[in-house]
Structure 1
């Protein structure tokens, strides 16, 4: 595959990955801020679906296209910016995997609730964990973007 086409695929998939994450987080926060059970039920359902349709495939495209770009460009892990970017991407992925499980649990709890008061303390504990993991992954991905663009020589 031609390098520029591969690079375009990598950039578009990173945009989908990051943009979907930001968009889903915004709507998730908004639904929980208004404390409306119908909004929370809808948000939990859409966040799980959005991760399935957009985040997961774009994450895989990132891995494959990134590996192909590394190979075609002839880069090695001697380039510090590259291995730091890979470690940060893996860290963000390690934060995201439990988030998927948390979101599925939250969706089930919200779906079973008949009013807002039925969202147990465990639901809100999951929400705090979701916020914490997202707060760790977000700056890691920002740093990956910077590293991919700047390719600094450390």
Structure 2
């Protein structure tokens, strides 16, 4: 029973991690395309909240439950699929950390533009380009991790 509970937590947290990331990215990207600082300020504020409320806890829970499942199932940590999964998870995390920092800065820029009745600064658009690029890398890294977790190829 313990294995099933931990596996359920692992799958549930991976779903929250992936779904929150994809949903937040969708809304933030398309809100940004409106170029309306009021819309952007509101959406990015909620994206930052979603990262704190959902993404951060699942980022922590994933490796804890994952390593425990590896232990319970008796898989060697040196299995290629596990090593590659860990590397890709770390890559996604390395992309996510600057994305979170940029989102906070972008939220503040949009709020300031709304308050002051000004256009969004060029820095917002530069951040958006990096935010998209890093998000694409993180997304495809996690897609491959999902595959490896399901297939467990030799």
- Cα distance in structure 2, aligned partners of 1:120 and 1:26: 22
How much does 1:133 deviate? 0.4
Deviations 1:32-60 (A, max 9, x none): 12222211001110110000000000111
Counterpart for residue 106 of structure 2: 106
Q: Does 1:63 align with 2:87?
A: no
Q: Is the 8 A contact 2:38 2:111 kept in 1?
A: no
Q: Does 1:76 align with 2:43?
A: no
How much does 1:116 deviate? 7.2
Q: Is the 8 A contact 1:36 1:116 kept in 2?
A: no
SS across alignment from 2:103: helix
5+ residue gaps in structure 2? none
Q: Is the 8 A contact 1:70 1:76 kept in 2?
A: yes
Runs of 4+ in structure 1 over 3 Å off = 114-117
Q: Is the 8 A contact 1:35 1:116 kept in 2?
A: no
Structural RMSD (CA): 1.3
Q: Is the 8 A contact 2:9 2:65 kept in 1?
A: yes
5+ residue gaps in structure 1? none
Alignment of 1:88-103 (within 5 A): 88-103=88-103
Q: Is the 8 A contact 1:106 1:123 kept in 2?
A: yes
Between the two proteins, the alignment pairs up a number of residues equal to 153
SS across alignment from 2:78: coil
Alignment of 1:1-150 (within 5 A): 2-114=2-114, 117-150=118-151
TM-score normalised to the size of structure 1? 0.95
